[in-house]
Amino acid sequence: MKLLTYTKQDTFVHHLSGVTKLFFFLLWCVVSGLTYDTRVLAVMIAVSMWVIWDSRAKWEQFAGIAKLMAFFMIINVVCIFFFSPYIGCEIYNSRTDLLHLFGNYTITAEQLFYSLNVMMKYFTIVPSAFAFMVSTDPSEFAASMNGVGIKYTAAYSVSIALRYIPNVQSDYRRIKNAQEARGIEMSGKAKPIERLKRTSSIIFPMLFSSMDRIDVVSNAMQLRGFGKKKKRTWYAGVPLSRADKTVIVLCIAFSAAALWLTFYDGNRFYNPFQ
Amino acid sequence: MRKSDEPIIEFKNFTFQYKSQSEPSLFDINLRIYPGEKILIAGPSGSGKSTLSNCINALIPQAYEGTITGTLTVDGKNPAKEGIFGMSKSVGTVLQDTDGQFIGLTVGEDLAFALENDAVEQDEMKRRVAEVADVVDVQKLLDHAPNELSGGQKQRVSLGGVLVDNVRILLFDEPLANLDPATGKKTIALIDDIMKVKDVTVVIIEHRVEDVLYRDVDRIIVVNEGRIAADMKPDDLLAGNILNEQGIREPLYVTAVKYAGCTIDPKDKPQHIETMNIAPYREKLRAWFEKAPAPDRTNNNPPVLEIKDLKFSYTPDEPTLRGISLTLRKGEMVSLVGRNGAGKSTLAALICGFLKPDSGTILLDGEDISPLSIKERGEKIGFVMQSPNQMISKPMIIDEVGLGLSVRGFPAEEVRKRSEDVLRICGLYPMRNWPVSALSFGQKKRVTIASILVMNPELIILDEPTAGQDFRHYREIMEFLRDINRKTGVTILMITHDMHLMLEYTDRAIVITNGQLICDDTPARVLTNDAIVDEADLKRTSLHDLAVKCGIEEPSEFVDRFIEYERSKFAKEGRSSE
């Protein structure tokens, strides 16, 4: 199972340069972080959803992380409610009681609407992050990072990490199996403290075999001249296409418009209660 | 072939000492290698042969520090001054670990790696990658990721990745270590083919002399204890006894001729069995064969492990195992062989319970073990991984050995007693309170085997027990396993690529190809059967060719008697040295 790793596909999103996608993603984060304008968030969600649909990411590829995110999102919303149950009312300057729970806790329409906005923020960013990961060729990405001025040694470290992830995963599986056969149980049967102690029987062998590998890889890289020159060219590098430039321009235009719409009345919140 | 009188590599009174060591690793080396030559540097582990090669590509002194006296000139340059980058234009190094050397995410990128670092323009780069892909025959694989390639294909990519730089010297560090025998043969042939189209000097560091000699080499340099023990033409070297004295395995046919009491004349060209003149030795060899005792390899002990029609697939419709049935009897030593990806490791994983079969049964002592967990199976079936670094997690030897018992809740006193008993059997008792880090690779291997033995398993499965080991350590590990097998009666199953191991140390070989068991017979018969050898990417033993050349009707019988003779010889040597 390829979890959140690049899979080669023939889609619009895949053909975009890594830099374009990174640019899009960063702008999305900034705008989504600043705005509470429900209309802007709705548009951003629509775009994000289209992106993940187009990238053909499979649900199984990111189901685990998506569930984890959903869990945090719910905790976030619940915490907001318990710590400041009327923040929605303060923000929107109105109060519409829906259901009294207990003590000082009453569910209000304003609080629900505010929570909806908080949740929408997750939905603007998370799908596009997944789409970015499954649709970006790490080498091409390293090349384009270098292209926009990031040092190539730093840019390359991303790609080399991705190169060896499968090796580390298979090492882990094999070491875990062999240690389990020796009786070091890692499954739920053992007590949590025991399990923690026993992870050392996997961590140390992992560490030692990884260190052996790092030694080999760094020698191999140097022997073939990595780090020799200040500049480097890229086999997988692709120049920005017209589609890339169009997307970048559209992103900037959208972000500018979104921020204007958010702030023109001096308030980050879209208020349907007035 | 030598093309010039000016050496391309020249060591003059060269001595090197690692920073962390008290003694030099190379003493007063004088060595000249000429352009266009193909040189084999052979020597046991720790002899200094890798140190020698690391001096040529400047890993010494840049990555591994130390002091140098004397001079070394490589392609007109001083490696110590030029550094790794300076030498990378002249010397291309192919490392033993082809997976570690594969840096790019695809074949194309990996081939281009050196060009990228040289900031070659992309158009030029693509052209040169296409060119070199043609030389090493990976044109169709340019988009493939490393995990989609076989060991042999990775080796080709490694070679292409250094050839792309138009280097003048190719340095191979144990190129055969991780390959199955047939792929190893192809690699040696590929090196030869490249020398025909490219003007390069080739230096191969390897202790598998017979496998490298599959194609001609100009000279063999034998290194031991930091000095050059011999610098000779292969025919002269094989005629003498230097390889044996230095702890390097001779080609088997050469050893057989010597066992028969003959002295080899270099004029008979012993470099290849195919072209060797056997006439002067034929009668003595036949006489030796008639006299040598015939071994009996039948084993009628009760079965330990019975596998019936075992099927498994990782992805539906692509079966990895297509119905394997086999029986292991008590006290047997059996080898499991076949090319990479044939299903050997999968079979071992199914026996240990790491994977669940799609269908079929596994019986241990007549009982179905499918309900047992990995841990429960581990008490009866031990699994030893290839590298001891993948298993050892405790700093002290005795704790590591006792780990399997202490996590099962045995009382401390019993754990200590049983650990000590096993340490005695394994010859590690005097070191029981040493830190693991003070041990050599072979000793660490013993520790991992001891840590399995302590649980009194009925069957031990070893994955490539001697991979990457030289002849001396190989023999040390294998004699150790045989000794354990005799003392405790434990059944041993070994996954291996090593044809010598299979011949010398196992009574039976199970051959798997494409998920099917295609042969289950004595190693001597397997390795003299051309159909099986070809189908499973094994390598026919040269003893077979020798027997045929001598007109012996039963080549497999010849092989068997040779092995029997050698076993009793080693056993005697082992006893007298104890």
Q: How many CB atoms lie within 10 A of CB B229?
A: 17
Count of CB pairs separated by less than 8 Å, A with B? 167
Distance from CA of B125 to the nearest CA of A (A): 7
Angstroms from B23 CA to nearest CA on chain A: 24
pLDDT at residue A117, as a whole number:
92
Q: How many residues does chain A have?
A: 274
Contact A183 B379 (CB under 8 A): yes
Q: Comparing C-alpha atoms, which of A8, A165, A133, A216 is closest to residue B95?
A: A216
In chain B, the residue whose alpha carbon lies closest to the alpha carbon of A156 is B104
Could you tell me if B364 and B449 lie in one domain? yes
B347 touches chain A (CB under 8 A): no
Which of B62, B95, B129 is nearest residue A220 as measured by Cβ atoms?
Answer: B95
Question: A92 and A173: one domain?
Answer: no
Pair A225, A247 in one domain: no
Please indicate whether, in this complex, the C-beta atoms of B116 and A232 are within 8 angstroms of each other: yes
Shared domain check, A174 and A92? no
Is the pLDDT reported for residue A8 higher than 50?
yes
- Whether residues A8 and A118 fall in one domain: yes
Residue A46: closest CA among A28, A60, A61, A30? A28
Task: Residue B375: list chain A partners with CB under 8 A.
Answer: 180-181, 183, 185
Is A155 within 8 Å of chain B by CB? no
Chain A partners of B354 at a C-beta cutoff of 8 Å?
177, 181
CA distance B482 to chain A (A): 22
pTM of the model: 0.83
Q: What is the pLDDT of residue B346?
A: 92
- Domain contains B359: yes
User: Does residue B537 contact residue B369 with C-beta atoms inside 8 Å?
Assistant: no
Determine the pLDDT at residue A156: 87
Domain match, B31 and B129 both: yes
| Contact map slice: B 397-456 vs A, CB within 8 A | 403-404, 407-408, 451-452, 455
Is the same domain home to B71 and B211?
Answer: yes
CA distance A231 to chain B (A): 6
| Residues in chain B where the model's pLDDT stays below 50 | 578
Give the burial class of B232: count Cβ atoms within 10 A of its Cβ; 0-12 exposed, 13-18 middle, 19 or more buried: middle
For residue B460, CA distances in Å to A169, B300, B341, B391, B496 come to: 25, 19, 22, 15, 14
Co-location of B90 and B163 in the same domain: yes
Our count of domains for chain A comes to 2
CA A133 – CA A141 distance, rounded (Å): 10
With CB atoms and an 8 Å threshold, state whether A223 touches B84. Answer: yes
Whether residues A69 and A203 share a domain: the answer is no
B93-113 exposure pattern, b = at least 16 Cβ within 10 A, e = fewer: bbbbbbbbbbbbbbbbbbbbb
Picking from A166, A185, A205, the nearest residue to B392 by CB comes out as A205
Q: How many CA atoms lie within 13 A of B471 on its CB side?
A: 21
Q: Which residues of B touch A203 (CB under 8 A)?
A: 393
Q: Do A209 and B389 touch (CB under 8 A)?
A: yes
- Starting at the edge strand found earlier in the chain, the sheet holding B381-384 runs B381-384, B459-463, B491-495, B333-337, B508-513, B516-521
Instruction: Examine the domain organization and report whether B199 and B316 are in the same domain.
Output: no
> Looking at the structure, do residues A105 and A21 belong to the same domain, yes or no?
yes
Is A177's pLDDT higher than 90?
A: no
Q: Is residue B465 in some structural domain?
A: yes
Q: Is B147 on the interface with A (CB under 8 A)?
A: yes
Query: In chain B, whose CA is at the least distance from the CA of A152?
Result: B117
Does one domain contain both A112 and A160? no
Look at the alpha carbons of B226, B227, B231, B235 in this order and tell me if their dihedral is positive or negative. Answer: negative
DSSP assignment of A67-85: HHHHHHHHHHHHHHHHH-T
Contact: A183, B126; criterion CB under 8 Å: no
User: By C-alpha distance, which of A271, A10, A1, A273 is closest to A137?
Assistant: A10
The number of C-alpha atoms within 13 Å of B361 and in the hemisphere containing its C-beta is: 9
Inform me whether the pLDDT recorded for A1 exceeds 50. no
Q: Mark whether B492 and B554 lie in a shared domain.
A: no
Instruction: Confirm whether B2 is domain-assigned.
Output: no
Name the least confident of A140-154, A190-204, A240-254, B76-90. Answer: A190-204
Are B60 and B108 within one domain?
yes
Q: Do A204 and B392 touch (CB under 8 A)?
A: yes
Same domain, A107 and A173: no
Tokens of B15: 């001595």
**Is there a contact between B103 and A221 if contact means CB atoms under 8 Å apart?**
yes
**pLDDT reported for residue B2:** 55
Label residue A18 by pLDDT band (50, 70, 90): confident
Among B451, B452, B415, B453, residue whose Cα is nearest residue B436: B451
CATH for B500: 3.40.50.300
- How many beta carbons lie within 10 A of that of residue A183, not counting itself? 20
Give the CA distances from residue B139 to residues B127, B128, B131, B144, B295, in Å, rounded to whole numbers and listed in that order.
Answer: 12, 12, 9, 11, 50
Residues A211 and A81 in one domain: no
Chain B: give the shortest CA distance to residue A237, in Å. Answer: 8
Does residue B298 lie in a domain region?
no
Say what the pLDDT of residue B576 is: 58
- Please tell me whether residues B287 and B197 are part of one structural domain: no
Residues B570, B503 share a domain? no
Domain that holds residue B163: 9-247
C-beta separation of B106 from B143 below 8 A: yes
Mapping DSSP to helix (H, G, I), strand (E, B) and coil, where does residue B383 land? strand
The per-residue pLDDT for B578 is 46
Q: Select from B31, B4, B26 the least CA-distant residue to B16.
A: B26
Torsion of CA B277, B283, B285, B289, to 10 degrees: 150
Mutate to test the interface with B, among A184, A224, A232, A234 (most CBs of B within 10 A): A224
Q: Which residues of A touch B392 (CB under 8 A)?
A: 204-205, 208
Question: With contacts defined as CB-CB under 8 Å, which chain B residues touch A166?
Answer: 147
pLDDT confidence of residue A61: 79
Contacts of A226 in chain B (CB under 8 A): 113, 117
- Count of structural domains within chain B: 3
Distance between CA atoms of residues B138 and B128, nearest Å: 13
Q: Concatenated DSSP letters for A152-169?
A: HHHHHHHHHHHHHHHHHH
Neighbours of A82 (CB within 10 A): 8
| DSSP, res B429 | G
- For residue A3, pLDDT over 70 is answered with no
Residue type, B524: A
Q: How far is B247 from chain A (nearest CA, A)?
A: 27
Q: Are residues A43 and A167 in the same domain?
A: no
What strands lie across the sheet with B9-18, from one edge to the other?
B26-33, B9-18, B66-74
One domain for residues B76 and B176: yes
Q: Do residue B113 and residue A224 have CB atoms under 8 angstroms apart? A: yes
Could you tell me if residue B296 is inside a domain? no
Is there a domain that residue B344 lies in? yes
Mutation pick from B314, B375, B439 vs chain A, by most beta carbons of A within 10 Å, is B375
Same domain for A103 and A153, yes or no, is no
Q: Is the CB of A214 inside 8 Å of chain B's CB atoms?
A: no
Mean pLDDT (whole number) for A222-239: 88
CB burial readout A40-50, b (16+ within 10 A) else e: bbebbbebbee
pLDDT of A201: 82
Together in a domain, A64 and A81: yes
In which domain, by residue range, is A33 found?
A: 1-137+240-274
Whether residues B90 and B71 fall in one domain? yes
Q: Say whether B496 sits in a helix, a strand or coil.
A: coil
Residues B565 and B524 occupy one common structural domain: no
Out of A160, A181, A204, the one facing B375 most closely (by C-beta) is A181
Among B146, B161, B407, the residue with its CB nearest the CB of A184 is B407
